[in-house]
Amino acid sequence: MNKTKIRLITFLIMVTCSLYGQNGDLRLLDWKPKSRLVVKETHIVRPKYPVIDIHNHLRDLSKINQYMEEMDKAGVWICIGLDGSSEKEAYKEHLEVYNSVSKDRFYLFFAPDFSKIDEPDFGEKEARKLEQAVKMGIRGLQIYKALGLTIRDRNGKLVAIDDPRIDPIWAKCGELGIPVMIHSSDPKAFHDGPLDEYNERYEELTQNPTWAYYGTDVAPKEELLNQRNRVIERHPNTIFIAAHIANLSEDLGRVAMWLDTYPNLYVDIDARLNELGRQPYSARRFFIQYQDRILFGSDTAPNAEAYRVHYRFLETDDEYFDPAPGHKFQGRWMIYGLYLPDDVLEKIYNKNAFKLLNMNKKPSN
């Protein structure tokens, strides 16, 4: 074959590839493949049992009526707002707005003001403030992931989760009988390696580069989890709800070990459908074994369709569906439903939260 024919064939191949978009220059960020699988799709409008959403952020108080409308559409009985900040006593405004709409549908957790961590008797002062807030209607304590990741003292040092200055607050929660919602560290991919071709959350982190802690002065993820666990061990009379499946949904075996070790530890499922749903066999076994220690949470401002993704995940055996509408895009994979037994569903949807929140009014379908 002469050179002219070779050039002609090469040219035709290049033109054909270009026409069909297979010339290899498609960016991963632009790749949005459509599955050709033909599998069952179940659309659940309302859950089998009324839902208590133990983990939400209702920051835009002007939308409170809209939130309740979405809850009504989705069968959500109660939504817990976690943004009752102690700073400037913002929790009072939240309580006022919640109560103006309904005293039964929205509960609020108190978030300490760690900007005052260096003040004398910080823990005792915040504990007293928390006690007064509980008398006003606060139902729990919220600890943002900033503790351990970004909060610094006056010397610029990161404040550890188990800093002894915080101990009076943990102890006060046990005394008052209110739970602590604690978010410690982030997904493993945010901590355990550089932002390169091997990072499974590459796309999410390129869009949010400040979430990548590898190579920074933030303590390794393992140390952050150890700090949290030391607090849980040090305060056995305080109930801790470790958010996002104890922030180790990638390793349910270790979460199970912690649940076995600390009887005062519970977990919630919010913002981790993407992790749980790609390991459906392990996740189903975990949910059944620890059915008394798992709570429903969404971490997404009330939205009926977002809630329905959660119901599909928990109630059906649907295969290979997208979890992103339930929260946001987190990883390039699909999930599978757990098809949990009814008695397990009811505990996760409301019974476990009902117990921890010391509620006296039972839900009705």
Mean pLDDT of the 253-274 span: 98
Predicted local distance difference test score (pLDDT) of residue 1: 55
What proportion of the chain, given as a percentage, has pLDDT over 70? 92
pLDDT tier, 15 (very low <50, low <70, confident <90, very high otherwise): very low
Mean pLDDT of the 99-112 span: 96
Structure-derived torsion over alpha carbons of residues 349, 307, 56, 226, reported in degrees to the nearest 10: 70
Predicted local distance difference test score (pLDDT) of residue 27: 82
Distance CA 87, CA 115 (A): 8
Residue 365 above 70 pLDDT? Answer: no
Predicted local distance difference test score (pLDDT) of residue 13: 52
- By DSSP bridging, strand 76-85 and strand 106-111 are parallel
Q: How many CA atoms lie within 13 A of 177 on its CB side?
A: 6
pTM listed for this prediction = 0.92
Could you tell me where the DSSP H helices lie in the chain?
3-19, 64-74, 90-101, 122-136, 146-149, 167-176, 188-191, 202-207, 221-234, 243-247, 252-261, 273-276, 280-289, 304-315, 342-346, 352-356
pLDDT in tens, 186-244: 999 999 989 999 999 998 999 899 999 999 999 999 999 999 999 999 999 999 999 99
Closest by CA to 162, choosing from 234, 226, 227, is 227
Pick the CATH number of 45-356 from 3.40.50.2300, 1.10.3720.10, 2.60.40.10, 3.20.20.140: 3.20.20.140
Return the domain boundaries, the chain: 45-356
pLDDT in tens, 136-172: 999 999 999 999 999 999 999 999 999 999 999 999 9
Predicted local distance difference test score (pLDDT) of residue 359: 79
